[in-house]
Chains A and B, each alone.
Chain A
């Protein structure tokens, strides 16, 4: 039974992501098809030795942001946390993919920390560029949210057979460039992945997208190709990012990429405005453009379902 499942697992990568519009995309061997969300959730889960689990992603809380279209990013973050609490299946943990704060101020980090503690769940962080603005260039963030991490805040951990890798691509950015991982972190990643079986499902999370969404706005990571090369041999890789405050997704080989909504403010779609920055939507629209992501692992099915939901839903 388990062997069959393992074959099936190797043969298929099924990644589903609901883009918040009611559509659900199932990817098999890289070919996308769309099925109904209800049908997917009702699908029987094969019995395996490993229990399915979920985790939630929140991103770009920008605590301290108070300009149009959102006068109070703390309030919408609180709503996002309530949303995580209300998920039908309690997540094992939460990941925050950066830009916790607007200006790296102590009170911004502290408020985020206090609000997240209400969840009663472990939270794993990576910094965004807004979290690197203290005089020591990221120390304030690391002291609070990066204990036990290496370099500018990278680390990995295992959870129920899945290997999670947290990467930092907002430190030491180069003039004219985009996000940057750097040689030291890439060497660490190589060593971190070296001993692992290719059948280990991998989840990578980082703030700026690890593929180029839009170079003109710096929405990509200069040296991400080197990281993706190291990940290419794994049968199931899911890359979760933030930064661009909207959902985008792509599948390349066995790697599924996904960016999350912000809990603070939306940004324009690539190229639809003179620049990135807060999209000044009317108040009644704001909540439909903010949200959280719920990730569901079902080993055996080898299925990673990413379900995005808005704060208005």
Chain B
């Protein structure tokens, strides 16, 4: 193969690789649409994402970052954490669509809502 052909072949393969990579990126984008936050930090006596929208099947994890214990309790009795001391976590998987209000049973002025829709 002449030197010129070699260069041509290299360029072609580089372009092919580039096209392939673009395809992979596009596939990744299709497989994983922008992921909504599934973590809620509790800090300064607030749920830091007080409103959260997720798809059915999403697991939401709350982590207490305060020096004071808190709880995560569904207003409708659907889920209820144990007391969460500093650094403790609680997770719940939202299987069905709907609106799920919750609060801290120790400090009930702390409230949040998880909206689950497909």
Q: Write the residues of chain A forming the contact surface with B, with a CB cutoff of 8 angstroms.
A: 67-68, 102-104, 129-130, 132-133, 135, 173-178, 215-218, 274-278
Shortest A132–chain B CB gap in Å is 8
* A217 engages B109 (CB within 8 Å): yes
**Which of B68, B75, B103 lies at the interface centre, i.e. has the most chain A CB atoms within 10 A of its CB?**
B68
* B45 engages A275 (CB within 8 Å): yes
The one of A133, A135, A175, A274 in contact with B69, judged by C-beta atoms closer than 8 angstroms, is A133
* A218 engages B109 (CB within 8 Å): yes
Question: CB-defined interface of B82-105 with A at 8 Å, one 1/0 digit per residue?
Answer: 110110000000000000011101
* B108 engages A278 (CB within 8 Å): no
If A67-B67, A276-B45, A277-B67 touch, does A176 touch B85 (CB 8 Å cutoff)? Answer: no
The one of B69, B102, B105, B109 in contact with A216, judged by C-beta atoms closer than 8 angstroms, is B109
Question: Does more than half of chain B's interface fall in helix, strand or loop, or is it mixed?
Answer: loop
* B107 engages A175 (CB within 8 Å): no
* B85 engages A274 (CB within 8 Å): no
If A175-B111, A277-B66, A278-B67 touch, does A67 touch B86 (CB 8 Å cutoff)? Answer: yes
* B69 engages A277 (CB within 8 Å): no
* A177 engages B45 (CB within 8 Å): no
Q: In the bound complex, how far is the Cα of B67 from the Cα of A173, in angstroms?
A: 21
Which B-chain residue is minimally distant from A273 (CB atoms)?
B44
Is residue B12 within 8 Å, beta carbon to beta carbon, of the partner chain? no
The one of B44, B66, B82, B108 in contact with A173, judged by C-beta atoms closer than 8 angstroms, is B108
Which residues does chain A contribute within 8 Å of B101, judged by CB atoms? Answer: 175
* A218 engages B111 (CB within 8 Å): no
Question: CB-defined interface of B45-82 with A at 8 Å, one 1/0 digit per residue?
Answer: 11000000000000000000011110000010000001
